[in-house]
Amino acid sequence: MTLTGRHTHMRRFLRIAALLLICGSCTHDPRPETAGAPKSDQVITAQEIADSQGQTAYEVIMKLRANFLSNRGKTTIMGDSPSAPTVYLDGQMYGDVSTLKSISASTIGSIRLYRAWDASTKFGAHNVGGVIEVISRTR
């Protein structure tokens, strides 16, 4: 096989490999979440909220994922930023962790914890303690 022939085969191989990689990364799991599906460490579903029988978002979190409420400790050298998670309701800043006590569990579709990096990326750099996002049920 000549040098040109090897290059042609190598290019063809690389194109096929790249195509397979691209196609593989575009796939997703079409199965919906079911009651028997493993629970996520960072998301509390509507079904879990109903099953918990908690009256407020705070009670639900305490029963199901108390680690959402944990203080992250000192997060900066200057120590002037909050180390507890900030609460967001439907994408808008709502307050500190105590505001979860004012959100009725019956109005909640899901609750999600964003760790510091994801919280800073999605909600802004001032959320170094993380974010607890409460999403209301859609009617």
Rounded mean pLDDT of 31-51?
75
Taking the C-alpha atoms of residue 97 and residue 6, their distance in angstroms, rounded to an integer, is: 63
Selection from 10, 109, 22 nearest residue 57 by Cα: 109
- The string of pLDDT tens digits covering residues 83-95 is 789 999 999 999 9
Taking the C-alpha atoms of residue 87 and residue 100, their distance in angstroms, rounded to an integer, is: 7
pTM: 0.67
- The string of pLDDT tens digits covering residues 94-124 is 999 999 999 999 999 999 999 988 998 999 9
8 alpha carbon, distance to own chain's centre: 45
